[in-house]
Amino acid sequence: MFNLTLSPAQTELVIKPGITLTQVYFVTNNSEEVIILTPSVLPFTPLGLDGSVTYDETVQNPNIEFSLGNPDLKLNQNFRLNPGQKTELTLQIKTYPQIPPGDNYYTFFISEAADTTFNTIPQSTARLGSHLLLSLSDTENPASQGKIQAFTASPRFKDIFLTPITFHAQAKNNSDFFFKTTGTLTITKNKLIIAETKLDSQNVLANYSRNLTCQNQQPCTISPPFWPGQYTATITLVNTSSASPASITFFVFPFSFFLGIIILFLLYLTSKRLFNKLHHASK
């Protein structure tokens, strides 16, 4: 049984080209059996808008080399982990001085080795990965450029009661360095702040987009009741050098209020007619 814990699950590093550094990973065998494992490193590219990754057609940067600092182990070489055992794997990341500035993304994998003595039937194996986001930069705080796109409110025309309003938006990264979606969603009416919530801090990788969510990875929503009128929703990112705030407007109308009045009026008319009919009948 494959039952592993890998720590840390993600590492984000800003390093100067030419530096060699070390990242320690801890691998724990949570099972009651010996597991044969293989460490490896693969580059990844982002997939979609929600933090997914893909490993296809991703080319290894020739200016970055990975190796293990453990004296008795190399990358892509099997090692044995006893039940309950925790071990340290020291990944050495060597960067060459000529590497162009920008981000490089990798996953450090621990794979279960296939059982070669057992190859007459199908086998299933597992591997567990930890992401490594490397920013190669001559400056300590590389500049990123982002913008908000596809910002919508749903529904745009809303009743004062009933369902909440949900906001959707994406952060687009137009630079070679990832940034975090630190910022706020602010709802204003007549320049008064009605509601303000923090954005969830997610990584937007270089030259990719990501859906925004609000605090605690919840959808960005505001709940009724609302006062009728025109509202403005503004998203502000604070950690990119060029992301200007993005705003949209939405409208709240007292649909249900008017509907209630109409229903009451119709009820009044109906009961009045009924009353008149009964009155005439009694005469």
Partner 1 sequence: MKLKFLLTFNFITLLTFYFPPAFVYAQHFSSDTYIIDWGNFNVTSGRKASTNYQLTDTVGQNAPGLFSKNGYVVKSGFQYIHDTFFNFSFSLENQKLAIDFGSLTPDIGTTDSNIISVSSPSGHGYEILAHQNHPLMAIGHGLTIPDTPCNVGSTCTESVSGTWTTSTVYGFGFNTIGINTSNTVTGVGTSNYFDNSGNQFRQFADYSRSENPQIIMSENSPAKNRRARITYKVNISGVQPAGSYQNAITFTAVPKY
Gap between the Cα atoms of 38 and 77, Å rounded = 6
2 lines the binding site for partner 1 (CB under 8 A):
yes
23 lines the binding site for partner 1 (CB under 8 A):
yes
Q: Which stretch binds partner 1 (CB under 8 A): 54-62, 188-196, 226-234, 255-263?
A: 54-62
The per-residue DSSP string of 195-207 comes to EEEEBP--EE-TT
Binding mask 76-95 vs partner 1 (x if CB under 8 A, - otherwise)? --------------------
244 lines the binding site for partner 1 (CB under 8 A):
no
Q: Which stretch binds partner 1 (CB under 8 A): 46-54, 72-80, 221-229, 254-262?
A: 46-54
Residues 109, 27: contact at Cβ < 8 Å? no
Q: Which stretch binds partner 1 (CB under 8 A): 51-59, 69-77, 166-174, 272-280?
A: 51-59
> Tokens 């908000």 correspond to what residue?
148
In the complex with partner 1, the residue whose CB is nearer, 158 or 180, is 180
242 lines the binding site for partner 1 (CB under 8 A):
no
Residues found in the chain = 283
Residues 156, 231: contact at Cβ < 8 Å? no
12 lines the binding site for partner 1 (CB under 8 A):
yes
> How many chain residues are in contact with partner 1, going by CB under 8 A?
65
Closest alpha carbon to 94 in 134, 58, 130: 134
Strands (DSSP E) found in 181-228: 183-189, 192-198, 203-204, 209-211, 220-222
- Using DSSP bridges, classify how beta strands 246-253 and 157-159 pair: parallel, antiparallel or unpaired: parallel
The per-residue DSSP string of 144-156 comes to --EEEEEEEEESS
Gap between the Cα atoms of 209 and 212, Å rounded = 9
What the block records as the tokens of 58 is: 């991703």
Sites for partner 1 among residues 160-219 (CB under 8 A): 180, 200, 202-203, 205, 213, 216-217
In the complex with partner 1, the residue whose CB is nearer, 182 or 256, is 182
**Residue among 76, 77, 85, 125 that touches partner 1 (CB under 8 A):** 125
53 lines the binding site for partner 1 (CB under 8 A):
yes
> Tokens 């794997």 correspond to what residue?
89
**Residue among 22, 98, 223, 282 that touches partner 1 (CB under 8 A):** 22
> Which residues form the interface with partner 1 (CB under 8 A)?
1-16, 19, 21-24, 30-31, 46, 50-56, 105, 107, 109, 111-112, 114-115, 118-131, 133, 140-141, 180, 200, 202-203, 205, 213, 216-217, 238-239
